[in-house]
Structure 1
């Protein structure tokens, strides 16, 4: 082992390599016997393509550029495609990102539009399509803008004709219900076609706070009768419901404080663990019923694994394999179950489980080591103690290189990574962006602070009214604990995060002296502005639970906003922003920077045209990673080779 200062180790994990492996497969589904899914293409403008796995096991990117299979419903999108077999040939319907139209597509032909373009506001958008050939329709969610403002819209379950008659005629789209509910998921038809089930909620609730599970009879003319509520409420979150082959209704509910599974109201496997998660994207699914009566489930306390639940006994048998995390996407066909999984030593892959044999195998997007895996991080899941003795879950990725170590007596710098959401969770999987830093001698600590999912409702409710407090305290507690135990250098701690994680990073720099610098990506920075029409409709009332109703606690909005206290920042920082971001728009960053003006705090502000909320293009990811490393190099006194110098003003 050669000795070299931490942060200065040469590494084969370059920014371009990390960017090329950004993102993961998603939205798995069966088209007949074939498995299809969506997959990112960072080097093709960040688009997502449809990948087809043929019967012989070969894969192909089925849709060429510029087709981009992605929905913008609620801005975070959702399930963007569906498929079936008609007359022995695949028939697919997908949402195209550029125009948000639904298209009908048969491989070998050009996609044909099924829905029109609207010039009003954000137009017409669609998610969670399901083909019903017997009805000649695609049932889905319709999001329709009625004006130019982000909240000028309506959402309804809708039926789109498969024959293309609605391609130029909005009135040919059949609305299945009225639009009295602000948010809806797509209706699921019962096996006999007599009933439909869907989920709805209204402002100011978020879907992890409270939703209603609705069931309605399907009338002879194809419309839905007035629905009845069968589960849910303002303090009960039902994020998914599915019909079992026998006509019973399966759903997930957190009425006990944990998202558990129920069949017609009866618990199937009552445990203090999660069988579902936060519904950030329409069409996420954590369970799917099998023809045999068994149920495939993604479940766990923290880490989420794939298992098969026997409703008769309540027993769950987990799939064996190297994967420690499964994503909220499942599909079943006969005894085959497909999902997306990853582990600390492998990236996200498409995985198939044979329920009869219990054998699980990779069938698509197979992980291939882009570099010698000896350069991968070696993370450890840990639980730290925070204020008031509360638990804080985190993943610690120490600096690691097969050929280098730091000098005796020198402690490494560490960066605290703050996930977005904030109602979300970071999984413990291989991430080459983390390896980009750890392989150079910079440690990373990912914190699932109070408010994160995966540990029950009480854990995520810690953030109610406390955003900007509990998240900041928990991240600081982990950083300081690493320093106190001699793992990290107390004088070389940084914080970084995007979206809600950008908020926590900025709030940490304005309210604590824990960090020597920070990286802030597409953040929330001004609560009052974000609450007053500066964000999209889905999260426009989110602050009522995270902070409190502004009419009741207006002082909190000013007290906690980094933009209102930018003059308190003394640590250097890097601010990264997509110019097409409608969730956290650039105006938030501009307001924050105006408060920095005159303070002489070293900082840099990089903006990216064509990028929205979260970076998708390879060139953007490369620039962002190299700028972040350069910030740490300048602040921590590091000497990483071959990294462009970031110009800091101030």
Structure 2
């Protein structure tokens, strides 16, 4: 292919915004139903719903969607949602499936092999506050004349406020008798904690464990493993804590086939897999490593390990990137899965000797991969990657460690511009956009992302920064952000940008920052902070937090309503800090153009924060654009929204960096 010289940012690309939207999201919440594998999958072109997929036991053929639109298999428990479905194999009639439907948040059951029977509701509606919500279900089939039950987490609003609610494990009858009768939902234990995960039953059904935590802790700060005996009527008795605490985060707890209790706990400074004595709480580290065998529990039902009937344990582990390995608890030996996949999600399903997971790499989109632990053979069984364009348009990322203030390490992925038929004129340096991930207690995985390729294939570099506070690098790295949000994240992103410019990898005059949610906060804070003054020429701020005081005083949901206690400090004793760090109070410091993107249905980072920020900006002649989208919440899901947002962002950079582009609408910047 002939190479043509053209300025950075002007290159043509087959990766358009519609292609980005079509490939947004990936499979999630894998589970085994007998020998079948099921999961949820995104449908951006269908209003952003989540479809429920089924793959036959023989793995012959492609997975099929078992529920037509408008069924949307998703829930709003802790607003980020939790595992929305469960299934069980039956001796006759095919499997029985339960799921939550996003539109009304009810729990439904259906028999997919009985096309004459529509899904039937299992739970009632409530007119109080946010209503009733359900997640992380486990089906407990009945015996004899008993209909059986679904044991799950219930989130019940008790008032109109976002924090007026309770959560606890409950049992819902499968016969539908609770569909109009709240009293038929059995509460299995007292609502003793603010947050709980779904119960996990021991192989003999006699014991059960779940995780619990309370404000102001977040699950990566401190959780407890709660253990109980299961009484004859199914209720939980003799409830006690056997592991965890305010400074120990347990990411997952589950029973092995032999009845031993396993837990991923960071008591060593890293989330490592331990065997916990359920009677004494004594814990033995099964594979001591300075690696993570767990992560931030942003969604109830995430699964970093899965015991096999053989006694082996499938584990997602790593430092930064996460691999799938098979651990022998007896010897501590760990063998990783062969293949091209370098990043595995916290979603595992076990069927006999086989383990299925969601895997990807810098050159592969998220696929369903299955490993046979007997043969060591792995194969793609679902969502197979297919290149929508020539892979030569994909970036070749570099895993790098930069240095922030005081020489501290800052982890990042750098994606230089790449195009098979374009190169820049001699002496020209590329523009770069620094991406700040959400969370903030999360991380940016090193995977194929067509949104990144959208920019790099046009000649715009991207640097994803896993700033201090990110997961994947141990608790000490994670704790760097304690009371330092708006400081460490801003400094680390600026350090990456400055280093790229100083070493001649990026044009110092054409640097931008962007991010969504907590990344939106970091972007806005960077444009208003002295620590990043004169670094960025513009910024993109998506569904952000902009006013710490407002967020702490009722402008967000319950799950994160006390998050700022650890990120910033207790509001009562740190009022000055809340005021001084908030971009809404430093709007006069904004000196460069910016794009503000917001979903109007967002209850996590509500539109009022954006509106307040723009009011404070007042009559200052700072070019900017504000795009608000009806029907969108926290995280854009609809194809048309994603297209508009991506094209608007490119137009901002084109205008600010002096790049000629005629493939996107011109974003009108107000003054």
**With structure 1 as the length reference, what TM-score do the two structures score?**
0.99
1:260 corresponds, among 268, 272, 276, to: 272
Counterpart in the other structure of 2:408 = 390
For residues 180 and 300 of structure 1, the distance between their equivalents in structure 2, rounded to whole angstroms, comes to 34
For residues 540 and 496 of structure 1, the distance between their equivalents in structure 2, rounded to whole angstroms, comes to 24
Counterpart in the other structure of 1:594 = 615
Q: CA deviation at 1:574?
A: 0.1
For residues 49 and 87 of structure 1, the distance between their equivalents in structure 2, rounded to whole angstroms, comes to 26
Structure 2 gap segments, 5+ residues each: 277-282
2:473 corresponds, among 455, 458, 463, to: 455
Q: CA deviation at 1:239?
A: 1.4
1:121 corresponds, among 114, 121, 129, to: 129
Alignment of 1:423-572 (within 5 A): 423-511=441-529, 512-572=533-593
For residues 513 and 637 of structure 1, the distance between their equivalents in structure 2, rounded to whole angstroms, comes to 18
Q: CA deviation at 1:151?
A: 0.4
Counterpart in the other structure of 1:28 = 30
For residues 535 and 244 of structure 2, the distance between their equivalents in structure 1, rounded to whole angstroms, comes to 42
For residues 523 and 227 of structure 2, the distance between their equivalents in structure 1, rounded to whole angstroms, comes to 43
For residues 662 and 375 of structure 2, the distance between their equivalents in structure 1, rounded to whole angstroms, comes to 50
1:9 corresponds, among 8, 11, 18, to: 11
For residues 341 and 554 of structure 1, the distance between their equivalents in structure 2, rounded to whole angstroms, comes to 44
For residues 625 and 361 of structure 2, the distance between their equivalents in structure 1, rounded to whole angstroms, comes to 34
- The DSSP-based 3-state class of the residue aligned with 2:327 is strand
User: CA offsets, 1:175-231, max 9 Å, x none?
Assistant: 011112100111111111111101100000000000110111111222111311110
Q: CA deviation at 1:87?
A: 2.6
1:378 corresponds, among 396, 399, 418, to: 396
Tell me which moved more, 214-223 or 600-609.
214-223
For residues 152 and 350 of structure 2, the distance between their equivalents in structure 1, rounded to whole angstroms, comes to 20
Q: Aligned pair 1:62/2:66, yes or no?
A: yes
Q: Aligned pair 1:619/2:624, yes or no?
A: no
For residues 163 and 282 of structure 1, the distance between their equivalents in structure 2, rounded to whole angstroms, comes to 25
Counterpart in the other structure of 2:138 = 130
**4+ runs deviating over 3 angstroms:** none
Counterpart in the other structure of 1:243 = 255
- The DSSP-based 3-state class of the residue aligned with 1:620 is helix
Q: CA deviation at 1:533?
A: 0.2
- The DSSP-based 3-state class of the residue aligned with 2:480 is helix
For residues 335 and 309 of structure 2, the distance between their equivalents in structure 1, rounded to whole angstroms, comes to 17
For residues 127 and 69 of structure 2, the distance between their equivalents in structure 1, rounded to whole angstroms, comes to 25
Q: Aligned pair 1:90/2:95, yes or no?
A: yes
Q: CA deviation at 1:641?
A: 3.0
User: CA offsets, 1:507-550, max 9 Å, x none?
Assistant: 00001221000000000000000000000000000000000001
Q: CA deviation at 1:57?
A: 3.0
For residues 274 and 176 of structure 2, the distance between their equivalents in structure 1, rounded to whole angstroms, comes to 39
Counterpart in the other structure of 1:409 = 427
Please tell me the root mean square deviation across aligned C-alpha atoms, in Å: 0.7
- The DSSP-based 3-state class of the residue aligned with 2:172 is strand
Counterpart in the other structure of 1:218 = 230
Aligned pair count reads: 650
For residues 199 and 599 of structure 2, the distance between their equivalents in structure 1, rounded to whole angstroms, comes to 34
- The DSSP-based 3-state class of the residue aligned with 1:555 is helix
Counterpart in the other structure of 2:279 = none
CA contact (8 A) 1:351 1:360 kept: yes
- The DSSP-based 3-state class of the residue aligned with 1:388 is helix
Counterpart in the other structure of 2:204 = 192
Counterpart in the other structure of 2:187 = 175
2:216 corresponds, among 198, 204, 212, to: 204
For residues 63 and 158 of structure 1, the distance between their equivalents in structure 2, rounded to whole angstroms, comes to 26
CA contact (8 A) 1:8 1:641 kept: no
For residues 571 and 61 of structure 1, the distance between their equivalents in structure 2, rounded to whole angstroms, comes to 47
For residues 621 and 212 of structure 1, the distance between their equivalents in structure 2, rounded to whole angstroms, comes to 39
Counterpart in the other structure of 2:106 = 101
For residues 229 and 271 of structure 2, the distance between their equivalents in structure 1, rounded to whole angstroms, comes to 27
For residues 101 and 92 of structure 1, the distance between their equivalents in structure 2, rounded to whole angstroms, comes to 14
Counterpart in the other structure of 2:119 = 111
For residues 10 and 252 of structure 1, the distance between their equivalents in structure 2, rounded to whole angstroms, comes to 47
**With structure 2 as the length reference, what TM-score do the two structures score?**
0.96
Counterpart in the other structure of 1:327 = 345
Q: CA deviation at 1:459?
A: 0.2
- The DSSP-based 3-state class of the residue aligned with 2:250 is coil
Q: Aligned pair 1:635/2:656, yes or no?
A: yes
CA contact (8 A) 1:10 1:641 kept: no
1:284 corresponds, among 281, 302, 305, to: 302
Counterpart in the other structure of 1:307 = 325
For residues 290 and 663 of structure 2, the distance between their equivalents in structure 1, rounded to whole angstroms, comes to 49
Counterpart in the other structure of 2:280 = none
Counterpart in the other structure of 1:573 = 594
Q: CA deviation at 1:59?
A: 1.6
